[in-house]
A and B are shown apart, each in its own frame.
Chain A
Amino acid sequence: MSTATQVAYLFTALCFILALKGLSSPKHARNGNLIGALGATVAVVVTVSQRHLGHRVPIIIAIVAGAIIAVPAARMVKMTAIPQMVAMFNGVGGGAAMLVALDEFLRLHRVDSSAAAIAVAFTAIVGSVSFTGSLITFGKLQELMTGRPILVPGARFVTPLVGLGAVGCGIAAVATASGKTGGVTFLVICTVLALGLGVLFVLPVGGADVPVVISLLNAFTGLTVAASGYVLDNTLLIVAGTLVGASGTMLTLLMARAMGRSITGVLFGAFSGSSTAGSTAEVVSSDRAVKSAGADDIAILLAYARKVAIVPGYGLAVAQAQHTIRELVDLLESRGVEVFYAIHPVAGRMPGHMNVLLAEANVPYEQLKEMDDANPEFSSTDVAVVVGANDVVNPAARDSVGSPIYGMPILNVDEATNVVFMKRSMRPGFAGIDNALLYHPKTTLFFGDAKDSLSKLVAAVKAI
């Protein structure tokens, strides 16, 4: 590798650090991302134009093909589908790392280095887990499969066995790496088992916890990139991979904390029965009375209120109702009603996802209140409208010590004078826990798809 190439790689590594730094602040985030893209472009151009590179034409064709697949997908994806898009891109990255590992291993018999062989086996296992694990998270978020935890019969024993098998074969592959073909066979078996492990690992995770898993798999892929860098003696891959591994781990912990969940609870909760994610199907105490009302009643309630809080949740996101809610809020404001949005840190499908969705609908920044700023406002709020959210306003998280979600920070909508829940049905939220607030005398329910209901409300408010 020439000095010029190494200097270019150093430049790229610095760009990546600045990119992560920029992405951590709202002001510099977009520039940060562009700096990252610039760094990556420089590294790729320098690598492709290295003098001794063989197969240059097929490589360039492959790069163009990859870009042709990815750019339209990334440009056209709906904002609500962003989380699964990120999961998919992470998955293919893991897949690429896995293939690079296999390719590296095929030529290792000639290079007798057990440290490199260990790194290759590590990349094959973790890259495979990241690949299939991400595909499963994609399936869950895209609703190709149920968001509820799926427990394979005997998974408690099968999953660890598959994991041990993968590691065992990996060790065998390393031990026989200098042989003729034995190592390759072991590594292929190891990879297949690891691919299965990724599936088994993510299936029992409930829908609400999936973002944490995506973040964790993201960190995993970072580590595989670092390991590949070690094998290829490439410092750029080591730096970039490790940066992502470390920051991804940190981000995973931050996300889990924002949800009031522990990492072990997220990953293994379904086995011990303490998963938040709806292991208790639809156990709703339907004998308890609820109060429901139509659009006209609720329109009057809202139109003559002084202060209204909107609590948007996942249901708003799936119904694509962010534009309709803005219309309603504008209408109320034009009547002199003070309106603010109360955003729970994990509203939507990922931390910060709701902010992205509302930003897309041009909701002014100053109407958005984060949880800590919103909570003191509820006691002076006349009507809190909860649109497609449930667990993040469940008082059980604050008051009932035995509840699985106890300790999760919530929005205190129960302090408002009136509460309106816009829900599709009486089904509990992701956590599968009944919400006592639904049965409270101050609560009114408005059933229906969030977008339909909001359109009706807009019409009803206009008619007043």
Chain B
Amino acid sequence: MNNVGLLTIFMLSIFVGFEVISKVSAVLHTPLMSGANAIHGIILVGAILITGTSSGAVQLTLGLVAVVLATANMVGGFVVTDRMLEMFKGRGKAAKAASKASAATAAAASAAPGSATDRPAS
């Protein structure tokens, strides 16, 4: 593709990048950073392409090390982000369970204080 075409893509991507995260709550800053981190692991595609056309031991070695590092970045990034978000999702269920539990607690509190300490974890 010619340079102007690439520049067009570049400029439009900047705007999209700013736009999609302009209104994000502080709660999600850490997962968002981690998710963006996983996305730049797509350098793996570049690493594969360059390794696939390499000639000579030096180029091949550099390329393969790059493939290992890029895979670690991409796979690790998505997995760790998912682990973080899994907890946010679990929290929704926990909240429901908790509201039931606390209703039960309120009823039981006067009768037996201290009995509802082991709320069921969802």
Q: Which B residues are in CB contact (< 8 Å) with A16?
A: 39, 42
Q: Does B4 sit within 8 A of A, measured CB to CB? A: no
Q: Which B residues are in CB contact (< 8 Å) with A70?
A: 71-73, 75-76, 79
How would residues 318 to 351 of chain A score, 1 for a CB under 8 Å from any chain B CB and 0 otherwise? 0000000001001101111000000001100011
**A244, B17: Cβ atoms closer than 8 Å:** yes
**A335, B113: Cβ atoms closer than 8 Å:** yes
How would residues 20 to 53 of chain A score, 1 for a CB under 8 Å from any chain B CB and 0 otherwise? 1101111001101110110010011001101011
How would residues 83 to 103 of chain B score, 1 for a CB under 8 Å from any chain A CB and 0 otherwise? 111111111101100110010
**A74, B71: Cβ atoms closer than 8 Å:** no
> Quick one: which of B43, B59, B75, B94 contacts A237, CB cutoff 8 A?
B43
Q: How far is the CB of B6 from chain A (nearest CB, A)?
A: 6
Q: Does A106 sit within 8 A of B, measured CB to CB? A: yes
Residue on B nearest A83 in the bound complex, by CB: B30
Q: Does A258 sit within 8 A of B, measured CB to CB? A: yes
Q: Does A300 sit within 8 A of B, measured CB to CB? A: no
A359→B13 CA distance, assembly (Å): 34
Q: Which of A110-158 contact B (CB under 8 A)?
A: 115
Q: Which B residues are in CB contact (< 8 Å) with A364?
A: 91, 94-95, 98-99, 102
**B51, A59: Cβ atoms closer than 8 Å:** yes
Residue on B nearest A18 in the bound complex, by CB: B20
Residue on A nearest B53 in the bound complex, by CB: A54
**B38, A36: Cβ atoms closer than 8 Å:** yes
> Quick one: which of A69, A239, A353, A462 contacts B30, CB cutoff 8 A?
A353
A12→B42 CA distance, assembly (Å): 10
Q: Which of B34, B42, B116 has the most CB of A within 10 A?
A: B42
**B23, A100: Cβ atoms closer than 8 Å:** no
Q: Which of B21-74 contact A (CB under 8 A)?
A: 21-54, 58-60, 62-74
**B28, A24: Cβ atoms closer than 8 Å:** yes
**B94, A362: Cβ atoms closer than 8 Å:** yes
**A32, B45: Cβ atoms closer than 8 Å:** no
A246→B21 CA distance, assembly (Å): 9
**Chain B interface bracket (under 10, 10 to 19, 20 to 34, 35 or more):** 35 or more
**A66, B70: Cβ atoms closer than 8 Å:** yes
How would residues 206 to 238 of chain A score, 1 for a CB under 8 Å from any chain B CB and 0 otherwise? 000000001100100110111011101111111
Q: Does A89 sit within 8 A of B, measured CB to CB? A: yes
Q: Which of B97-122 contact A (CB under 8 A)?
A: 98-99, 102, 105, 109, 113-117, 119, 121-122
**A96, B26: Cβ atoms closer than 8 Å:** no
> Quick one: which of B13, B59, B60 contacts A58, CB cutoff 8 A?
B60
**A250, B21: Cβ atoms closer than 8 Å:** yes
A362→B43 CA distance, assembly (Å): 36
**B48, A59: Cβ atoms closer than 8 Å:** yes
**A29, B18: Cβ atoms closer than 8 Å:** no
**A247, B18: Cβ atoms closer than 8 Å:** yes
Q: Which B residues are in CB contact (< 8 Å) with A331?
A: 114, 117
Q: How far is the CB of A76 from chain B (nearest CB, A)?
A: 10
A234→B48 CA distance, assembly (Å): 12
> Quick one: which of A47, A95, A242, A351 contacts B29, CB cutoff 8 A?
A351
Q: Does A86 sit within 8 A of B, measured CB to CB? A: yes
Q: How far is the CB of A390 from chain B (nearest CB, A)?
A: 19
Q: Which of A33, A352, A362 has the most CB of B within 10 A?
A: A33
- 17 A-B pairs besides A71-B75, A350-B29 with CB distance below 8 A are A23-B21, A23-B31, A66-B68, A66-B70, A69-B76, A70-B71, A74-B77, A85-B76, A89-B37, A93-B70, A96-B73, A100-B46, A100-B66, A248-B36, A330-B117, A355-B27, A366-B98
A selection of 7 A-B contacts at a CB cut-off of 8 Å is A71-B76, A93-B43, A93-B77, A99-B62, A221-B40, A226-B13, A237-B45
Interface residues of A (CB under 8 A from B): 12, 16-17, 19-21, 23-26, 29-30, 32-34, 36-37, 40, 43-44, 47-48, 50, 52-56, 58-59, 62-63, 65-67, 69-71, 73-75, 77, 79, 82-83, 85-86, 89-90, 92-93, 95-97, 99-100, 102-104, 106-107, 115, 214-215, 218, 221-222, 224-226, 228-230, 232-248, 250-251, 254-255, 258, 327, 330-331, 333-336, 345-346, 350-353, 355-356, 359-360, 362-366, 370, 462
Shortest Cβ-Cβ A-B pairs, 8 listed: A66-B71, A246-B17, A70-B76, A242-B13, A93-B73, A364-B98, A351-B29, A96-B70
